[in-house]
Each structure stands twice: as C-alpha cells, then as structure tokens.
Amino acid sequence: MYGTRLRALSIATLITLTGGFALAAFYAPEDADQGFMQKILYVHVPLAIVALCGFVFAAVCAIQHLRTGESRWDLRSYVAIHMSLIFGAAVLITGSIWARASWGHWWVWDEPTLVSFLIVFLLYATYQPLRFSIEDRDKQGRYASVFAITAGAFVPLNFLAVRMAQSYTHPRVFATANGGLEPRMKVAFYVCLLGMALLYATLWKYEMTSKNTSAQIKRLRRRLAGDEGALPRRSASPTLEST
Amino acid sequence: MRNVVNGVLRRDLRIDTRTPQVVPGMALFSISAFVVFHFALQQRSVSGNLAAGVLWVTLLLAAVLGIARQFVADREEGGFEGFLLAPVDRTALLVAKATSLFLFLIALEIVAVPAFLIMLLGPSPQEFWRLLLALALADLGIAFVGTLVGALAVQSRARDLLVPLLALPLLIPLLIGAVKISAPVFGGPVAAARWPWVLALYDLVFGLVAYAVFDFLLED
Amino acid sequence: MIVGADVTLPDNAGYVVAAYLVFLVLLLIYVVIMATKLSRFERELTELNEIAEKRDEERTRSAA
C-alpha cells in the first residue's frame, strides 16, 4: 500500500509550498541588483535541486533493484525518474524565462548550472525510449536500472565539468542557494525548498498509488473475467505482480 | 581471466582485419566530416578553439559509429549467447570489449589526426604532447562509456537510435576536457592544469561503474 | 495587490509571473493526466463489479 500517508503529505505540501511562496512574495526583500526578477529564484532553484535529488534517489532504488531483483524497486526508480523529468522540464522553462528577464536572451551558455541541467535532462529523456524498445520484462527492468545507475553517477561529474568550463567567463551573477543570500531571503528559500521536496514526495506517492491500484484492478480482472478479459499493455512502466 | 580476455580480444581484432568494417568505416567517416566542415564553415583552414572543436566533434561522432557496431557482430553471429553460456567471468568480456574499442579508437586517430593536420589545420601544431595526452585520456573514457552504452543498447529494437542518444550526453564532460587540453596545440588559449585530472576522474568513475553494473547486462 | 497599491511593479514583473505560471500549468497538466487515469479506474471497477454481480446472481439461481 502506498496511499496510507498520502493525505497528510498532501496537506503538508499545500501548507509549506503556499507558505513558502507567500514568504517569497511578501517577506523576502527585493534583491539589490536584480530587483523583483530575483523572485524567480524561489521557484526555479528548489525545482532544480529537488529534480536532481530525485535522479539520485532513482539511482539508489535502481541499485536496490539490481541487488534484490524485486520489481517494486524498479517501479520506484521508474516513477522517480518520471517525476524528475517533469520537474526538469519546469526547471528548464523557468530558467529560460529568468535568462530572458535578466540578460534579454531566452538561452545563455554562461549559466553552468542551467547548461549542465540541460545535458542531464537530455540524457534522462532517453530512459523511456530505452524501456520501450526492450521487449522482455525482466531484461527491461534490469537494463533500465543499469541506465539509472550510470546516469546517477554522471550527474555530479557533469556538473563539475560544465562549471569548470565556464568559471572564467562570468562572475556569478545569481546569488544561488547558500551564497550571499540575505537572512530573510534564506528563510523564504528554504521553506520553498522544503515545500518543493514535499510536493515531489506527494506526487511520487500519488503515482505509486495509481500504479499499484492499476495493478490491483488488473489482478481482479484476471480473477473475475479470466485471461481473455485482460487489456493490452500500453506503457513500458514496470508491473507489480505480487503486491 | 587473462585467457578469456585474450581470446575475445583476438577474435574481435581478427574479425575486423579479415573483413574490415568498423575501423575503416570510422576513418572514412572522419575524413568525410572534415570535408563537410570545410564547406559548412566556408574556411580553408581552422585554428585555435575552432580547430579543437572540429577535430573533437569528428572524433566523437566517429566513436559513436564504432560504439554502435561494437556488439552487433556478436549478436548476429551468435557469439553473445555463446559467451553467456560459457562459465567465465563477465568482467573479462568488459575488459576485452573496452580494450578492443580502445584499440579501434587509436587506429581511427592514426588516420584522422594526420588527415586533420593536413586538410584543415592552419598553424603548425605546437606542444603536440597535449593532444596525445587528451587523446589517451579521452579514448580510455570513450572505451568504458562506449562498452556500457553498446551493451545497454544491443538488446533493444531501437539500437541505432539509442546509441547516439545515450552516448553523446554521457560524453559531453569528456569532450569539454579534451577540447580544453588540446586547444593550445592549435594555437588556442591554455586552460587550467587541472583538466587532465578531471578527465582521469571521469575515466575512473565510469570504469568503476561499468565494472559494477556490467554483470547485470549479461545475465539471462 | 493590496500592499502594492502605491508601488508600481517593474516592467519585467511579467517574467516572474510567467515563471510561476509555468509551474502552475505543469501541475494542472498533471492533474488532468491523473483525472483521466482515475476515470479509467472508475470505469474498470464498475465493469468488474457488474461481472461479479452477474456471477453472484447465477450462483443463487443455480442454488435455488
């Protein structure tokens, strides 16, 4: 069962994220250099951090899957990557808007975090096609886990390389994360970060519950209507046969 | 283990010397790419960062070609299954495959780098050892990542599509480092001295990752 | 905006609004996807309930 604490988690998300955005709007002062525009930070950076942590979480689940061979770990890894990709799309779009607002271009190569995020996003976008193109269920899960582990190891290396490649061009314009934020901004930022992490957890649990429900319905259908009642599969997501 | 590595390696090399496919293909591709760059950039010669970029993009794409072909011969001729049935260490296959890809890449570069110097490079190269260092470190990384990606993609239906989609993003940090190290050879700016270490770290990490996960790609 | 009644927002405030809108829109798209999934579950469960009821009826008829 995945839906047990879903309601409590949803309420916590609602309160924290709304509170965080409210703090960002009314409590945190305007940035001296960037002015009002800097408020994008409170949605963009937490999204990015949470998406990356989601990828790492997926890699950990994939390791568990390879060690134990249980398909529920594969499902966890799959859902984590799925959610992180959605968060990642939001990161790229909000980052692009920020670049447009502060430099007048929709895309700049001087912002190493955003560039390396794009590379990571491109890599993980291949996860679903990889799953779809392998027929054998067991093999599909194993190969997907190998991919998740490789990509998880790639994330920090990629950040290191891209950041080093561009450090000479620009002084850091954005006061991201811990560096140089005013205390009141910091409070708002951390509340937003917590809210975003809770949102990720809620959506992850939500998706897991949905997958579990669908598996239960399929089992029920097989019991009541026999094999001829089974509907053809349309997705490459892992199946739960024995929960 | 050494016997297995030797056996697989020798067979791979023999296949490619008897009916040459991979290495001549990669070499031809690289020369075609230089011609394409000449017309696309509308320049008789290139130098500095641009030269490093042209050379490394060509080498990277040629390497992707090689990666895509790496396990195909095994699969078509049933060598893959034969190996799976044999009670040998899976790591041996990784070592053998990575070594053969490494050797193929060196063979490619023996053709492609002189061709580049003759066909496209403007200034005469200086401090040539930097290029050799970059090539050695990059080849090692490509060998590990390529073997991993090739093995990941070989079982899938969309193999030809997946190999470049997986390999190119994975190789971007390597490309950055290789370009930074080798740019001074072509008259570009000298980059920080820590870049070879970054590449070495990349090689180490992916060597370890490949070692850790390769077994699971061959279980059946 | 009540507090900002006498404050004029800077020109590029639209971008900030746009960024938060992107977040909201993606969340709403997710809600739509979950809604379709939920309605599919409902349909399937209704169907399965009908099958189960039919089966019960047959059982009571054969018992009688």
Residues C42-58 have pLDDT tens digits of: 999 998 888 888 888 88
Quick one: pLDDT at residue A222? 85
Judge whether C17 lies within some domain. Answer: no
Q: Is the pLDDT of residue A8 over 60?
A: yes
Test mutation, A158, A164, A168, chain B, max B CBs within 10 A: A164
pLDDT of chain B, 220 residues: tens digit per residue: 777 778 778 877 777 776 667 888 899 999 999 999 999 999 888 888 899 999 999 999 999 999 988 887 777 766 666 666 666 677 888 888 899 999 999 999 999 999 999 988 888 888 888 999 999 999 999 999 999 999 888 888 888 889 999 999 999 999 999 999 998 888 888 887 888 999 999 999 999 999 999 888 877 6
C-alpha to C-alpha distance for A97 and A107, rounded to whole angstroms: 9
Helix (H, G, I), strand (E, B) or coil at A35: strand
Judge whether C42 lies within some domain. Answer: yes
Quick one: pLDDT at residue A240? 64
For the ranges A73-87, A120-134, B11-25, B102-116, the lowest mean pLDDT is seen at B11-25
Quick one: pLDDT at residue C1? 46
pLDDT band at A169 (very low <50, low <70, confident <90, very high): very low
C-alpha to C-alpha distance for B99 and A95, rounded to whole angstroms: 41
Alpha helices in A125-182 (DSSP H): 127-132, 137-166
* Domain count for chain B: 1
Percent of chain A with pLDDT over 90: 45
DSSP B46: B
Place of tokens 């897991």: A208
Tokens of B115: 């061709």
pLDDT band at A229 (very low <50, low <70, confident <90, very high): low
Quick one: pLDDT at residue A91? 93
What is the rounded (10 degree) CA torsion for B76, B79, B80, B85?
Answer: 140
C-alpha to C-alpha distance for B162 and B152, rounded to whole angstroms: 9
Cα of B158 to nearest chain A Cα, Å: 6
Q: Do B169 and A153 touch (CB under 8 A)?
A: no
Residue with the larger pLDDT of the pair A136 and C5:
A136
Quick one: pLDDT at residue A76? 94
C-alpha to C-alpha distance for A128 and B43, rounded to whole angstroms: 41
C-beta of residue A48 within 8 angstroms of C-beta of residue A193:
no
Q: Is the pLDDT of residue A49 over 60?
A: yes
A86 interfacial to chain C (CB closer than 8 Å): yes
C-alpha to C-alpha distance for A153 and A59, rounded to whole angstroms: 8
Phi, psi of A43 (to 5 degrees): -110, -35
C-alpha to C-alpha distance for A34 and C15, rounded to whole angstroms: 13
Judge whether C4 lies within some domain. Answer: no
Test mutation, A224, A235, A237, chain C, max C CBs within 10 A: A224
Q: Is the pLDDT of residue A112 over 90?
A: no
Nearest to B213 among A135, A149, A161 (CB): A149
Judge whether C39 lies within some domain. Answer: yes
Quick one: pLDDT at residue B168? 94
pLDDT band at A146 (very low <50, low <70, confident <90, very high): very high
Phi, psi of A31 (to 5 degrees): -70, 145
Judge whether C1 lies within some domain. Answer: no
Domain of residue B178: give its range. 2-218
Residue with the larger pLDDT of the pair A173 and A1:
A1
CA-based R_g, chain A, Å = 20
How many other CB atoms sit within 10 Å of the CB of residue A49? 17
Judge whether C5 lies within some domain. Answer: no
What number of CA atoms fall less than 13 Å from residue C1's CA on the CB side? Answer: 10
DSSP A31: B
C-alpha to C-alpha distance for A71 and C7, rounded to whole angstroms: 56
pLDDT band at C10 (very low <50, low <70, confident <90, very high): low
A66 interfacial to chain B (CB closer than 8 Å): yes
Cα of B157 to nearest chain A Cα, Å: 5
* Domain count for chain C: 1
A119 interfacial to chain C (CB closer than 8 Å): no
Domain of residue C46: give its range. 26-64
What residues form DSSP beta bridges with A185? Answer: none
Quick one: pLDDT at residue B133? 93
Judge whether C60 lies within some domain. Answer: yes
Alpha helices in B43-128 (DSSP H): 48-69, 72-76, 79-85, 90-119
Percent of chain A with pLDDT over 70: 86
pLDDT band at A85 (very low <50, low <70, confident <90, very high): very high
Q: Do C22 and A26 touch (CB under 8 A)?
A: no
Quick one: pLDDT at residue A231? 59
Q: Do C26 and A90 touch (CB under 8 A)?
A: yes
C-beta of residue B134 within 8 angstroms of C-beta of residue B178:
yes
What residues form DSSP beta bridges with B121? Answer: B46
pLDDT band at A1 (very low <50, low <70, confident <90, very high): low
> Using a CB-CB distance cutoff of 8 angstroms, which residues of chain B are in contact with residue A146?
148, 152, 213, 216-217
